[in-house]
Amino acid sequence: MEENKSQIITLTDKKYLVVGGTNKIISLKSDLIQLDTVLGGIMVTGKNLELITLDNNSLKAEISGEIISIKYLDKSEKIPFFRKLFK
């Protein structure tokens, strides 16, 4: 059986983001949320970010706040450890 690698990302009015295929939350801050998804890492930056829900059954994460950027990370790309500590 082949693993489902499909992913839908929906952004509404730069204030509400739904990311399908989310396995887990890696980092959660008010200006940065990093997710592990079926297609790799995703970094969401913004202001006043909040994780509304993470549904493990449907693999869906819902985020609210002022979304500034959504970026897929290369497999070798990670958020620097010291940036997470001192931000």
Nearest to 38 by CA among 14, 5, 2: 5
Q: Exposed, middle or buried, 9 (CB in 10 Å: 0-12/13-18/19+)?
A: middle
Task: State which residues form the domain around 25.
Answer: 9-86
62 lies in some domain: yes
Q: What are the tens digits of pLDDT across the range 5-54?
A: 789 999 999 999 999 999 999 999 999 999 999 999 999 999 999 999 99
Is pLDDT at 77 greater than 80 in this prediction? Answer: no
Could you give the number of structural domains in the chain?
Answer: 1
4 lies in some domain: no
User: What is the pTM (predicted TM-score) of this model?
Assistant: 0.81
Residue 69's pLDDT band, with cuts at 50, 70 and 90, is very high
CATH number at residue 29: 2.60.40.2000
1 lies in some domain: no
Q: Quote the pLDDT of residue 80.
A: 54
